[in-house]
A and B are shown apart, each in its own frame.
Chain A
């Protein structure tokens, strides 16, 4: 149980385009979903926390107009990188929690974004 999927697993796009990444909890309802970013050989950094039906809470330094998060249902959250630039290239990972903020988080397989 507790499976989280992400789509796509990798994406290459041109500078200036927008990219949408989907995160789905497959076998449970996720009241809270999280988006992380990981640079090569570094740790994960939380970008934002989202609860179904409400606006996401962004971490300090994360541009909410660049990284649009929509948590439209209890099984789906999306991250849209708008007007992507090469510095947005990274590994994006989502996670989901069944019972709120402090419960165990389960992670998706990640999406590798390369912006040319």
Chain B
């Protein structure tokens, strides 16, 4: 199946800083999603982005499908941005399940 790798595994930043989280995947994708898992375990959908660029407030994401990576940008970080960010990818025939990366744990310090 498709392999999904995320980096960095941990990131500690001061409030107000910007960050870039990376997701590499091993095959072509039909679905690529970014999530934020809050401290209670709820997965919050950030982006559905199998290709292209999207922006939502302080967050934006870019997927370069031909080079098999996606980036999540967080600008002007706030303490509420803390948590684990997951990338998940779903390929084509034979790679149908949504496969999660190991996540990036982001801690924003006031």
Contact = CB atoms under 8 A, between A and B. Distances in A.
Asked if chains A and B come from one complex, the reply is yes
Contacts of A109: 40-42
A93 interface: yes
Contacts of B48: 104
B66 to A, nearest CB: 19
Interface stretch (A11-19, A41-49, A71-79, A81-89): A41-49
Interface residues of B, number: 21
Interface of A: 2, 34, 38, 42-46, 49, 59, 91, 93, 95, 101-107, 109-110, 112
Given A59-B97, A102-B31, A104-B48, A43 B40 contact: no
Contact of B31 (A42, A46, A104, A112): A104
Interface in B26-67: 30-31, 33, 35, 40-43, 45, 48
A43 B90 contact: no
Contacts of A110: 41-43
Contact of A46 (B30, B40, B98): B98
A104 B30 CA distance: 10
B63 to A, nearest CB: 14
Contacts of A2: 45
Q: Which of A45, A105, A109, A110 has the most chain B CB atoms inside 10 A of its CB? A: A105
B25 interface: no
B41 A106 contact: no
B11 to A, nearest CB: 16
Nearest to A45: B100
Interface string B87-102: 0101000001111111
B43 A93 contact: yes
Q: Which of B42, B43, B99, B101 has the most chain A CB atoms inside 10 A of its CB? A: B43
